[in-house]
Amino acid sequence: MIRCDFCGLEFDPACGEQSCTGCPLAHNCIRIICPRCGYVMLPEARLVGWLRRLNQGRRTRIRQALEEDSK
């Protein structure tokens, strides 16, 4: 699921338009267009996703350690 940065709609990227029909680069276009408001977004970079997952795992481990210490 992708959340539109402009209107907040959560949608499946397959449901959103992924290319502009009039553009000569439409065949290789990676842009994702929100079906509600038409805001154009780029998919998240793999590095950004990896860093987000890394940070989320770190936060989970810290939270678990704090819960164990409070027992």
Q: What is the pLDDT of residue 21?
A: 60
Length of the chain: 71
Q: Which of 53, 35, 36 is nearest to 44 (CA)?
A: 53
Residues 6+ apart with CB under 8 A from 2: 10, 11, 12, 13, 16, 32, 41
Q: What is the mean pLDDT of each run of 10 residues along the chain (71 residues)?
A: 90 70 68 87 84 90 87 72
Q: Which residues pair with 27 in a beta bridge?
A: none
- The ranges assigned to domains in the chain are 2-70
Contact 8, 39 (CB under 8 A): no
Record the pTM.
0.55
